[in-house]
Amino acid sequence: MSNGGPKAFGNIFNVTNKTNDRMPDARGNFHVTEEMIQAMINAPRDEQGRVTLDFSAWHKTGPKAGRYLSGNLQIGQPQEGYGAGKPPAKNNQDNDVPF
């Protein structure tokens, strides 16, 4: 579940000029703010140290791109059994001297 915090926004478009089967079916990008990056650094992690991101998408149609997905990413909560509640990684930007 999302927490109502910072979001990253982006779009995913169908690849129409595939030249081989190994190419992806869709590509796109997300725009991530400094606030979102900081939230990811401080987010709870699972047992492997991964941050959960909730992805939401809406089908849209544009005059040039045709049908595509528009969506957002938000910090989620680690799933049960995946180390929920593990403290976040230490922020390396702290001004504390390590000795």
Please provide the DSSP assignment of 6-66 as one string: -EEEEEEEE-----STTS-SEEEEEE--HHHHHHHHHS-B-TTSPPPEEEEEEEEEETTTE
Question: pLDDT digit string (tens) for 46-77?
Answer: 888 889 999 999 999 999 889 999 999 999 88
- Residue 95: inside a domain, yes or no? no
Is the per-residue pLDDT at 93 higher than 70? no
- Residue 33: inside a domain, yes or no? no
Q: Does the reported pTM lie above 0.95?
A: no
Split into its structural domains, the chain has a count of: 1
- Residue 73: inside a domain, yes or no? yes
- In which domain, by residue range, is 63 found? 1-12+53-84
Cβ neighbors of 48 (< 8 A, separation 6 or more) are 82, 83
- Residue 69: inside a domain, yes or no? yes
Q: Tell me which amino acid residue 15 is.
A: V
Confidence of residue 1 (pLDDT cuts 50, 70, 90): very low
Quote the pLDDT of residue 99: 44
